[in-house]
Chains A and B, each alone.
Chain A
């Protein structure tokens, strides 16, 4: 089996057609492929929730193979939150399932003729699919939806993509859930409101068999050698080999708090007085005491195994993680210093299908507006549940951070391109500020994770409190990340890749052996630049200008304790981040896509 088909699902006439992967897209997978489809087929001025938008789901190049940590899956569309191109990727098992069925991309287009009708797309092992009416799933949370689909599948081992009530309600803070190794819908393409795009298509879920075996390789022996080399590097690096497996992502709470860059109570402080209650160390101790699953891969083939579950006092599963970003957004950013409370908020977001980061920022702005007290976890949970019920301020909260801030006249609204920031304040950690400001995705830490050299001492050292070197750091990371996202590699492979030359070599050796095309360093970086170039041109067509590549003014004006830092990277430096786009576009022979 090779990943050489497109499955085109037209919700307007309920047709599901398998097409050969066009030659123009054959060199792409994952993020590059979702970008290429959106670039080629969705006019930049399309209504994100209208029939002209398309939801594209694409495994990375290494989907369905044994490439370590190669099972990420990309979801792309025009974002209803940012108004620009969006790629949000997730773990879970669907990358392997689609790849093993030979599907390079699932393209969901059109809109159902019957308003309110819901459908489930069911795939088989050959990559054929059919739509089934599923109105009975209306309003169900992700957990009940996945459970119903699993029950219906009986003994068949299936993987699910599900859309929660927030997506059904077309809310801009909605994300899409992918089932993990145990079938739980807890891995998310959370950012950018893609749940609303799925909801606008009337698609409640996708069900696919996990499938068996790996894909064919051009050179199986060479592939296996490169896989071993990559796995060895991942295990040898202290971060991917020890730190992440032992403590998970939430171990970062104390690190960033110590650095004075832990956004607290809506970005008003860089340290959280109640940090101990939500730290990774505390979460680890709670997990051990309650017998929680303390480390597993979110997809088959993960060797880092940073995923974990959170149990209640009776030892029952509550939610995954919570991951660092969620512990921060729903914890410190809301002034909540209790891990059990954070876990309940995380569970509510997961079940409703809400981006925990967008919601944590929306709730914090809501608190700053005086609608709730900072630290009121019961009030925060009730507010989240009002999104599901559609009552009170629920619809507003589910519309995201900026909508809430504007509705209540809050001046400190932490968004770029309408998307909420992540768990690092850009004033004392300026490299991540460059990424927030300039990313095609809106504020997105994963787009160019400058925390590496700014704080963690990985891939060199750049002083986080100064502007020097931040633009170059972010540019390099944004290009490399676009490549990793296209290969379906977990971003955490970046730690060994930045420090161990063999890890980087193993990536292009795996790609060469898998595809038969001789990849090298230049080609990897070219893929990253091409991916970003499609995104930048698309956003230009959607109306974005240099003025959109800026942080909110309060980051330049308000000093953040404890370092009393403000963001000092100049506009010219920010504008230099995408200095490669014009030349890359010329090489690719593309320009700003036409409006409809």
Chain B
């Protein structure tokens, strides 16, 4: 399946090769196996072992959630502001 993957802040360097997505240099269109979870993708990308903030199509998701074809996944390291 094909998804749009966006990685932000300190995770940007882990973005794989691929055509750019809707967020320019922060995102890529990536091909993935048909059954893969957020956590499995994070492991595949070798993201640091730390808490993450992940959104699938604008909704917060945990590592156990399975990805779907055409979805947009955005992952942030632990950040905050205000």
Contact = CB atoms under 8 A, between A and B. Distances in A.
A243 B12 contact: no
A244 B80 contact: yes
Given A247-B9, A254-B8, A276-B23, A239 B79 contact: yes
Interface in A479-515: 491-492, 495
A250 B24 CA distance: 19
B74 A252 contact: no
For A253, A449, A457, the residue with the greatest tally of chain B CB atoms inside 10 Å of its CB is A457
Interface in B14-61: 23-24, 26, 50-51, 53, 55, 58-60
A264 B10 CA distance: 26
A9 B33 CA distance: 71
A456 interface: yes
Chain B, interface size category, equals: 20 to 34
B10 A456 contact: no
A445 interface: yes
A198 to B, nearest CB: 25
B78 interface: yes
Contacts of B74: 254, 258
A451 B53 contact: no
A462 to B, nearest CB: 10
A259 B76 CA distance: 12
Contacts of B6: 258
Given A276-B24, A457-B53, A563-B58, A239 B9 contact: no
Nearest to B8: A254
Secondary structure dominating the interface of A: helix
Given A248-B81, A249-B81, A455-B53, A254 B58 contact: no
B58 A259 contact: yes
B53 A246 contact: no
B60 to A, nearest CB: 7
Contacts of B50: 238
A260 interface: yes
Contacts of A253: 81
A458 interface: yes
Interface in A239-273: 239, 242-244, 246-255, 258-260
Contacts of B79: 239, 243-244, 247, 251-252, 255, 456
A250 B81 contact: yes
Contact of B9 (A281, A465, A495): A281
A324 interface: yes
Contacts of A456: 53, 78-80
A280 B9 contact: yes
A562 B77 CA distance: 23
A276 B81 contact: no
A281 B76 CA distance: 11
Interface in A335-364: none
Interface string B65-78: 00000000010111
Contact of A255 (B12, B51, B76): B76
A246 B81 contact: no
Contact of A259 (B9, B55, B78, B80): B55
B6 to A, nearest CB: 8
A280 B9 CA distance: 8
A439 to B, nearest CB: 14
Nearest to B79: A243
A401 interface: no
Nearest to A327: B81
A180 interface: no
A535 interface: no
Contacts of A402: none
A519 B48 CA distance: 39
A254 B24 CA distance: 13
A323 B78 CA distance: 18
For B6, B23, B80, the residue with the greatest tally of chain A CB atoms inside 10 Å of its CB is B80
A89 interface: no
Contacts of B60: 259, 455, 457, 461, 464
A247 B10 CA distance: 9
B80 A243 contact: yes
B1 to A, nearest CB: 21
For B23, B51, B79, the residue with the greatest tally of chain A CB atoms inside 10 Å of its CB is B79
A253 B76 CA distance: 12
A325 interface: yes
Nearest to A465: B59
B66 to A, nearest CB: 19
Contacts of B53: 255, 455-457
A69 interface: no
Given A255-B53, A276-B23, A446 B77 contact: no
24 contacts: A238-B78, A239-B78, A239-B79, A242-B10, A242-B77, A244-B81, A246-B9, A247-B10, A247-B79, A249-B80, A251-B9, A252-B81, A254-B9, A255-B81, A258-B76, A259-B58, A276-B26, A280-B9, A281-B12, A449-B82, A452-B80, A455-B60, A456-B78, A563-B58
Interface of A: 237-239, 242-244, 246-255, 258-260, 276, 280-281, 323-325, 445-446, 449, 451-452, 455-458, 461, 464-465, 491-492, 495, 562-563
Which 6 interchain pairs have the tightest Cβ spacing?
A252-B81, A249-B81, A243-B79, A238-B78, A324-B81, A260-B58
